[in-house]
Structure 1
Amino acid sequence: MLETDICILGAGPGGATAALHLANAGHRCLLLDKATFPRDKVCGDALSGKVINELRRIGEALPAQLAADPAQVPSWGIDFYAPNGRKLAVPFKPHYNKAADRAAGHIIKRLDFDNFLIEEVRRRSEIDFREGLDAALPEQQPDGRWLVRDAAGAPVALARLLLVANGAQSGFARLVAGHALEPAHHCAGLRAYYRGVQGLHADNFIELHFIQDFLPGYLWVFPLPNGEANVGVGMLTEAVSKKKVNLRERLAEILQTHPALKDRFAGAERLGPVRGFGLPLGSRRRVLSGPSYLLLGDAASLIDPFTGEGISHAMVSGRHAADWAGRALAAQDFSAGFLRGYDAAVYNRLGQELRLSRAMQKLLDYPWLFNFVANRAANNPTLAETLSMMFLDLDMRERLRQPSFYLKLLFGR
């Protein structure tokens, strides 16, 4: 059994990011994952500008390496479709030049992106990466350390600090940290891959269709390499239950009958099964730490409630988790009170954006109001820019503090 200062459960974007930042700071860690990479993960597969900036914080060359990867396509913007069918095209950068500008976003299957990060992990001697190891629920010892066993009960590690990044279904988050599934703050989703979808944007704009049947939520179509597309739907779990919606049946029906989609999918071929997943949303502030542990990413319920984006937030939490792990080691203080600084750091970065996303999610309860906003956005640069910034790594905190911003958001030109 290994005795270690830091053990990370889960090698997705949050856990891998934490491990890489720890390695950059000269700290050794143990990184465990039950999967063997490359492995698939049900997701929308879109990477926002926030992800690119987080990659740059890990290593200056990583964004360029990702951009050169044939598994990805660059994305230059978003097409929003309001419930009334009105399309609002929002480029990530106004008047962009594909020949000279770097793409603000990318679309790449999680199979490939997560493995992109894992390949970086494998290069770092400071990281003891063990894949294919299904860890049981850790047990805290009288001295505060965490005993980690494998699924068969054999001891694997004794860790001073546990970084929990093992996803939306984390047993630790539920049973130890007390994060119950709350239907009002949880999203049910489906994803499938298609080939031959017609009418995809030449510059790989991602599509968000806010269709009445799926409110509060949306249907997405994200272009991928080789003529493929990631197609899915996400809807608030509370609404799925109240409306008694069978998402799988309704998704198939919408693709066949909706005026904006039926012709585009008439000749499309679905590749593999439709897979489901659950997303714990960051629409309510939760406690992210406790004695000798930190929660990261989906395990910390940090998913954007409006866009459904979780990768960048997982990476942000991974960066701050590495920082506070280093602080705890330096101070030899692993108490809940000390580690609460991690919560403050994460919410200082993400809190106001999550609140704005929650407000925009609530807007979907009133389709007529969403239609009004979409109609106004065509002539409202402030609103169009705000929608774009939801996907970019531009710090909105200063403008969110200014009352004039909200007036411009509703009535500005």
Structure 2
Amino acid sequence: MDICILGAGPGGAIAALHLAKAGHRCLLLDRAAFPRDKICGDALSGKVLSELRHLGGPLTERLAEAGRGAASWGITFAAPSGQLLRVPFKKAADIAHARPDGYVLPRLTFDNLLVEEVRRQPLIELRENCEVARTERGGLGWRLLDKQGGLLAECRLLLVANGAQSSFVRQVVGRELEPAAHCAGVRAYYRGVAGLDPQHFVELHFLPELLPGYLWIFPLADGGANVGLGMLSQDVAKKRLNLRQRLEELVATHPSLQARFAQAERLGPVRGWGLPLGSRRRPLSGEGYLLLGDAASLIDPFSGEGISHAMVSGRHAADWAGRALATSNVSAGFLAGYDAAVYRRLGQELRLSTAMQRLLRWPQLFNFIANRAVANPTLAETLSAMFLDIDLRARLKQPGFYLRLLFGRGK
């Protein structure tokens, strides 16, 4: 096999679908069987919808059908001071006939939607319940081995999309967890949370005790909510926090949350996971391999957005995999073109998000910005742009944008 993909989440599945669309065969392996749950905030941003449009085909419509009732029409930011900033994605008059700019859809449903499309493609061989325990160079290029050392597959080019805990990234790339560029997150499902927005605005609560992290409340179609919090791993360690316990304490006792959760019921346990952040530029490729999504540490440092970035990397990985096969060149030097392509799309947004995350170290400054954003549409839109497909790169190149950002009242 020329191309193998580790992980059938959004990054791996989108890469496989783009490869099939271009006429390339690939082998897609995942240790789970779908449908399977994935710990996540479950928010699908406008960037996710944009990537589905890049792919083409019926997935956009299937998502709209699966997400019926789960459309999200905006974001509510709660500053450390308690100041609320409600930022709609569309004017109220446009909502009745407009397409949503985002959804809140459990990953069990969304990931399975992608995998079902994978199953329809004859050029993609999907192997579920298939755990790759070790990879080594040899044969065609890479040998994929199971726990007993048995050969699962060989390939010339390996696309690594098996998540934040990827053994390939640890063992082969040699990348260790960086607490200053890594977020620890926990989430639980609740029903009966009071005060959920009727237009399913997602809520980000920048509580002083969590900065530079935040607590989120994302409304679901069934009236429930995905509730969780994330903090930098270095801060969790420094403060010796138990995040599961902290989430339970906050929803039960915090003045802005207590009444809303008084009659709420938690459904199932509080579950945790790690998020490697794109706080700095790292190599995304090497001799015969490309890193995608969380395995590439591409999560947005401010918003925690990871799904769309995985899909962006999957699209570019498929492109560069095709180029590598066409030129019979899987060298590290050639594949570095993939790194450049991904960072052209995401680099400036990741830098802006990193700066905004650092700003959260100064609550008074964030409070000032939140207060200004109430009367400054440019600033409010910039905060929401990380959840939409607004191309910030074009704005960042315009000197006038920064004046409007700081002082302007109009657009």
Q: Considering the TM-score relative to the shorter chain, is it more than 0.5?
A: yes
Distance in structure 1 (CA, Å) of the matches to 2:148 and 2:74:
47
> RMSD in angstroms over aligned alpha carbons?
1.1
Distance in structure 1 (CA, Å) of the matches to 2:58 and 2:123:
20
CA contact (8 A) 1:72 1:107 kept: no
Is the aligned partner of 1:174 residue 2:170?
yes
Mapping 1:223-302, distance limit 5 Å: 223-302=219-298
Mapping 1:90-101, distance limit 5 Å: 90-101=87-98
CA contact (8 A) 2:140 2:154 kept: no
Of the candidates 116, 128, 131, which is equivalent to residue 131 of structure 1? 128
Equivalent residue letter for 2:247: L
Is the aligned partner of 1:399 residue 2:395?
yes
- Partner of residue 55, structure 1: 52
Is the aligned partner of 1:87 residue 2:75?
no
Mapping 1:104-119, distance limit 5 Å: 104-119=101-116
- Partner of residue 152, structure 1: 148
**Deviations, residues 97-136 of structure 1 (Å, cap 9, x unaligned):** 2221000000100011000000000000000000000111
Equivalent residue letter for 1:101: A
CA contact (8 A) 2:244 2:271 kept: no
- Give the deviation of 1:276 after TM superposition: 0.6
Size of the alignment, in residue pairs? 409
- Partner of residue 366, structure 2: 370
Distance in structure 2 (CA, Å) of the matches to 1:35 and 1:50:
26
- Partner of residue 314, structure 1: 310
CA contact (8 A) 2:324 2:330 kept: yes
Equivalent residue letter for 1:162: L
Consecutive unaligned residues of structure 2, counting only runs of 5 or more, are: none
Secondary structure (helix, strand or coil) at the match of 1:222 reads strand
Equivalent residue letter for 1:194: Y
Distance in structure 2 (CA, Å) of the matches to 1:42 and 1:229:
14
- Give the deviation of 1:93 after TM superposition: 2.1
Equivalent residue letter for 1:38: P
- 1:70–1:389: structure 2 CA closer, same or farther, 3 Å change rule? closer
CA contact (8 A) 2:80 2:206 kept: yes
Is the aligned partner of 1:214 residue 2:171?
no
- Give the deviation of 1:253 after TM superposition: 1.0
- Partner of residue 348, structure 2: 352
Runs of 4+ in 1 over 3 A off after TM superposition: none
CA contact (8 A) 1:289 1:339 kept: yes
**Deviations, residues 193-238 of structure 1 (Å, cap 9, x unaligned):** 0011111000000000000111110000001122211000000111
- 1:151–1:72: structure 2 CA closer, same or farther, 3 Å change rule? farther
- Partner of residue 29, structure 1: 26
- Partner of residue 8, structure 1: 5
CA contact (8 A) 1:11 1:165 kept: yes
- 1:402–1:70: structure 2 CA closer, same or farther, 3 Å change rule? closer
Q: TM-score, normalised by structure 1?
A: 0.97
CA contact (8 A) 1:191 1:275 kept: yes
Q: TM-score, normalised by structure 2?
A: 0.98
Is the aligned partner of 1:305 residue 2:301?
yes
Distance in structure 1 (CA, Å) of the matches to 2:323 and 2:67:
39
Of the candidates 64, 75, 94, which is equivalent to residue 67 of structure 1? 64
Distance in structure 2 (CA, Å) of the matches to 1:364 and 1:30:
43
Is the aligned partner of 1:341 residue 2:343?
no
- Give the deviation of 1:96 after TM superposition: 5.0
Secondary structure (helix, strand or coil) at the match of 1:75 reads coil
The sequence identity of aligned pairs, in percent, is 67
- 1:405–1:144: structure 2 CA closer, same or farther, 3 Å change rule? farther
- Give the deviation of 1:171 after TM superposition: 1.0
- Give the deviation of 1:151 after TM superposition: 2.4
- Give the deviation of 1:258 after TM superposition: 1.2
Secondary structure (helix, strand or coil) at the match of 1:214 reads coil
**Deviations, residues 167-198 of structure 1 (Å, cap 9, x unaligned):** 00011112211221100000000010001111
CA contact (8 A) 1:79 1:88 kept: yes
Distance in structure 2 (CA, Å) of the matches to 1:363 and 1:90:
20
Of the candidates 40, 53, 71, which is equivalent to residue 43 of structure 1? 40
- Give the deviation of 1:88 after TM superposition: 0.2
- Give the deviation of 1:59 after TM superposition: 2.2
- Give the deviation of 1:243 after TM superposition: 2.2
Distance in structure 1 (CA, Å) of the matches to 2:185 and 2:366:
22
Distance in structure 1 (CA, Å) of the matches to 2:166 and 2:66:
31
